[in-house]
Amino acid sequence: MQDEKITTLSMLYAAAVDGKSVVVPGSIGSWNRPHPAALMLNQSGSLLIYLFGCGMYVHEKEQCEDKFQNNSISRRKKQCLKKTKQPQS
């Protein structure tokens, strides 16, 4: 699924209300890591315009299987898989 691009303050506000994180992959500094959308709303307007221009996206967490794809099954992976396993119907 493609990430949702955020281009306006109202879209950023909606992401903050939903408790989502955003990432700006094309930016400099620490903005290329996920940050809560509510934190981004507190930034200055000139910084937000710069970040919107670089491309701000809603961050989607990767699945546990992707993190441990090439590693042998570890205790951490087993715990992670237990948490994400859904009951079969």
Residue 78 belongs to some domain of the structure: no
How far apart are the C-alpha atoms of 31 and 82, rounded to whole Å? 32
Count how many domains the chain has. 1
Of the candidates 20, 66, 64, the one whose C-alpha atom is nearest the C-alpha of residue 39 is 20
> Where residue 30 falls among pLDDT bands split at 50, 70, 90?
confident
For residue 32, the enclosing domain spans 5-58
Q: Determine contact, residues 40/12, Cβ cutoff 8 Å.
A: yes
pTM of the full structure: 0.64
Average pLDDT, the chain: 77
What H or E segment, with its residue span, contains residue 43?
Answer: none
**Nearest-CA neighbor of 6 among 22, 29, 28?**
22
* 73: phi then psi, degrees, rounded to nearest 5: -65, 125
